[in-house]
Amino acid sequence: MLNKKIENTFNEQINKETYSAYLYQSLSAHAKHIGLNGVANWFQIQVQEEISHAQKLYNYINERGGKVKLQVIEEPPSEFENIQNMFEETLKHEEFITKSINELMDLAMNERDHASQIFLQWFVTEQIEEEDNVNEILNTLKLIGNSGNGLRMFDKELAARVFTPPTV
């Protein structure tokens, strides 16, 4: 059985992951609006990933005899300065999520909840990948600079991204 403190914090994490999906949906809409269909696709895959993260938490709370409680989802920003800014916002958000996962892990350790620590390990590893993916994109964008051709090729590359559901 989950203790109340952990249950509440896991429910807050469902909210943060769902907000992540909402933020990426907004970024995808913006990319589509400015004609970057590959970037729009990349963010669409990100939306699906975030929904799967929220679902993982939802399933875990239920499995441990807790109660899922959904909360209000904040309105995400809808205007972004440029493509760099879109991915900088993404990185900033992922760093916030990493911090939140680390705090959840600290709580599970303090509460001596071993099952939650094992469960959260997947998220700790996932966050390394999430931040790395965005950092790589930001580095590529730096190299592209103001090259229209470079941006077109980059957009084409992101169009190939597909969603792979988490296995664990």
String marking each residue 25-64 x if it binds ligand FEO according to CB under 6 A = -------------------------x--x-----------
User: Interface with ligand FEO includes 94 (CB under 6 A)?
Assistant: yes
CA atoms within 13 A on the CB side of 18: 17
The Cα–Cα gap between 109 and 48 comes to 29
Single out the residue of 2, 6, 17, 158 in contact with ligand FEO (rule: CB under 6 A). Answer: 17
In DSSP notation, 18-72 reads HHHHHHHHHHHHHHHHTT-HHHHHHHHHHHHHHHHHHHHHHHHHHHTT------P
The Cα–Cα gap between 42 and 40 comes to 5
Minimum CB–partner distance for residue 106 and ligand FEO (Å)? 18
Q: Which is nearer to ligand FEO, 3 or 48 (CB)?
A: 48
Ranges within 119-158 binding ligand FEO (CB under 6 A) = 130
Minimum CB–partner distance for residue 153 and ligand FEO (Å)? 25
Minimum CB–partner distance for residue 17 and ligand FEO (Å)? 5
Fill in the DSSP letter of residue 3: -
